[in-house]
Amino acid sequence: MKRGIIFLLALGAGLFTTLGGAAGHKPTEISVGYFLQWPTPAQFAQATKTFDSALGLKVNWVPFASGKDMNAALAENRLQIAYAQGHVPFLVGLSQGLDLTMVGIAVGYPDSDNCILADNSGITRDNASLLEGNKVAVEIGSVSHYRLLRLLEHLEVDPSRVEIVATADGTATASALQQGEVVMACASGGALRAIATLGKPLLSGAELEAIGLRLFDTVTVSTAFMNEHSEIVQAFMDVVEATNKQWRINPDPMRAAIARAAQMGQDGASRRLEDFSFPSAEQQKSESWMGSLVPTYSKSLADFFVAQGQLGEALDNYDRFITTQFLR
């Protein structure tokens, strides 16, 4: 079964590139950064050495604790590709002067950050103006804070008339809703899961994406490496596209290998995978993603972080650090 899937990926998808005529001396190995406990279809190709075969070199998969650590490794040339680096660490790296390029969207997770209304609040999206005069908990300066402000703007709620309760972290945010101190709390990850049973989201993850509020991880590369070895980056992205396609067609034979690579139990990995989306190359290069929205969204988010004192400076624009040339 495994051999059959690899054959399908390599030949049926028709995507892999022959690595000849490199711009510079072709390396014998590269390092790719990733996160444990963060399963993706690409980890099937990681586990089965499909990347090694398609790239014609040894691919070392190096686990990292944070996107910040990935930035440091990219800057020091200890890492050539960061797979599933967070969007915010990518922006932070650019603000620090690192020469990075986003070449793809590794994973989307639209339901991992949201605002939950208490069941007894009586507030819905249809009467969202009732939030004015009420308390909402959120960690100030966080992505959740940014999304809250954009959400209020979309629903035509005056944020100056909403009493925002500043919390220290997600745990404190969740506690504020659990203790009935606020009518709504905005959080991500474990804090969001802790409060999800206490009420309903103001908008669903899909509805938030529809108004341009996307949550995603990037495929980030060193720009110097990309320029010198574009054929390696292309082959890497071709494998990612093929495995994502195979996941959409027939995911079950891939689950065990993905779980092993992510160092998770298969049930846990499968549950997390169901919360993720893996946009196709065609989707990624569309205006809804990297073709238009992602550069604009990156600028808006960076400006917010500067205003909140979370980022030293924002760039004038992010277009030149985002390319769709490897999406096909």
Q: Domain with 127 in it: what CATH number?
A: 3.40.190.10
Q: What is the distance of C-alpha 225 from the center of its chain?
A: 22
pLDDT (0 to 100) of residue 141: 96
Domain finish residue from 166, 185, 210: 210
CB 237 within 8 A of CB 244: no
CB 73 within 8 A of CB 225: no
- Bin 159: left if φ > 0, else alpha if -120 < ψ < 50, else beta: alpha
Partners of residue 136 on adjacent β-strands: 164, 184
Residue 8 belongs to domain spanning: 2-110+214-321
Same domain, 225 and 94: yes
Closest CA to 235 of 107, 100, 51: 51
Same domain, 94 and 241: yes
- Residues whose CB falls within 8 Å of the CB of residue 114, separated by 6 or more in sequence, listed in order: 186, 187, 188, 192, 201, 202, 203, 205, 208
Rg (CA), the chain: 21
Same domain, 21 and 157: no
In a domain, 121, yes or no: yes
pLDDT (0 to 100) of residue 6: 52
- Distances in Å between the Cα of 131 and the Cα atoms of 142, 151, 182 are 20, 12, 10
Same domain, 10 and 98: yes
Same domain, 225 and 312: yes
What whole-number distance in Å separates Cα of residue 326 and Cα of residue 221? 12
What whole-number distance in Å separates Cα of residue 254 and Cα of residue 42? 10
What's the pTM value of the predicted model, to 2 decimals? 0.92
Domain count, the chain: 2
pLDDT (0 to 100) of residue 25: 85
In a domain, 303, yes or no: yes
Same domain, 259 and 302: yes
Same domain, 49 and 125: no
Same domain, 223 and 205: no
Q: What is the distance of C-alpha 292 from the center of its chain?
A: 17
Residue by residue, pLDDT tens for the chain (328 residues) are 455 355 445 534 444 444 444 445 899 999 999 999 999 999 999 999 999 999 999 999 999 999 999 999 999 999 999 999 999 999 999 999 999 999 999 999 999 999 999 999 999 999 999 999 999 999 999 999 999 999 999 999 999 999 999 999 999 999 999 999 999 999 999 999 999 999 999 999 999 999 999 999 999 999 999 999 999 999 999 999 999 999 999 999 999 999 999 999 999 999 999 999 999 999 999 999 999 999 999 999 999 999 999 999 999 999 999 999 999 9
What whole-number distance in Å separates Cα of residue 323 and Cα of residue 56? 24
pLDDT (0 to 100) of residue 188: 96
